[in-house]
């Protein structure tokens, strides 16, 4: 596992789009556009992520091929909060053929090290209720219930 660089942009964009497909299959609320401009826009989002000092993008590189990605970012609360900074894992994906080989865990461990180095003591992740492997994965890594996000269709 290593920090992603500009040379990984294409591979990272492909994995990020695959993560979107995974979620769209769980619930159409997560669907992303598929028009020709969407791919270029996804590439721009990844480029911005790579430049953002409050965000760290890690890749699982297996013999030169990027098989997984993890994005961690830092969010800040107003001074009134005791915990002023909190990290979030916003994206995590491992290619289906490469799963259950420890890649997801290694990616998250690298992200946690990055968060700890910044002196931040809490990290959160939002997991779709229907995402069975995601739910099992995070709980296996010691994450537990923190917030319920309730939704309602209007």
Ligand X SMILES: CC(C)(COP(=O)(O)OP(=O)(O)OC[C@H]1O[C@@H](n2cnc3c(N)ncnc32)[C@H](O)[C@@H]1OP(=O)(O)O)[C@@H](O)C(=O)NCCC(=O)NCCS
CB of 99 to ligand X, least distance (A): 3
- Binding string, 66-95, against ligand X, x = CB under 6 A? --------------------------xxx-
Beta-carbon-side half-sphere exposure of residue 59 (alpha carbons within 13 Å): 23
Closest to ligand X by CB, 74 or 104: 104
Examine residue 32 and tell whether it contacts ligand X (CB under 6 A).
no
Kindly report each contact of residues 24-31 with a partner whose C-beta sits within 8 Å and lies 24 or more positions away, as own/partner. Answer: 26/128, 26/130, 26/131, 27/128, 27/130, 29/151, 30/128
CB of 134 to ligand X, least distance (A): 3
Q: How many beta carbons lie within 10 A of that of residue 112, not counting itself?
A: 18
CB of 20 to ligand X, least distance (A): 10
Examine residue 124 and tell whether it contacts ligand X (CB under 6 A).
no
Examine residue 104 and tell whether it contacts ligand X (CB under 6 A).
yes
Nearest-5° angle of CA 100, CA 49, CA 92?
15
Give the Cα separation of 126 and 146 in Å (integer). Answer: 10
Map the footprint of ligand X across residues 128-147, applying CB under 6 A. 131, 133-134, 136-137, 140
Examine residue 105 and tell whether it contacts ligand X (CB under 6 A).
yes
Beta bridge partners of 92: 70
**DSSP states of 33-57:** --SHHHHHHHHHHHHHHHH-TTEEE
CB of 11 to ligand X, least distance (A): 15
CB of 70 to ligand X, least distance (A): 8
Map the footprint of ligand X across residues 42-61, applying CB under 6 A. none
What residue ranges bind ligand X (CB under 6 A)? 19, 22, 92-94, 99-105, 125, 127, 131, 133-134, 136-137, 140
């Amino acid at each position: 596992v290593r920090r992603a660089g500009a040379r990984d942009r294409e591979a990272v964009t492909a994995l990020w789009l695959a993560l979107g497909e995974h979620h769209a299959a769980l619930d159409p609320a997560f669907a992303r556009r598929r028009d020709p401009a969407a791919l270029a826009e996804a590439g721009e989002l990844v480029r911005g992520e790579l430049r953002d000092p409050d965000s760290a993008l890690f890749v699982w590189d297996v013999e030169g091929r990027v098989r997984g990605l993890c994005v961690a970012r830092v969010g800040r609360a107003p001074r009134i909060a005791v915990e002023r900074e909190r990290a979030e894992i916003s994206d995590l994906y491992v290619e289906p053929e490469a799963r259950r080989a420890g890649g997801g865990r290694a990616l998250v461990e690298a992200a946690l090290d990055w968060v700890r180095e910044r002196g931040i003591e809490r990290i959160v992740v939002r997991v779709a209720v229907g995402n069975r492997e995601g739910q099992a994965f995070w709980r296996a890594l010691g994450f537990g219930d923190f917030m319920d996000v309730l939704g309602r269709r209007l």
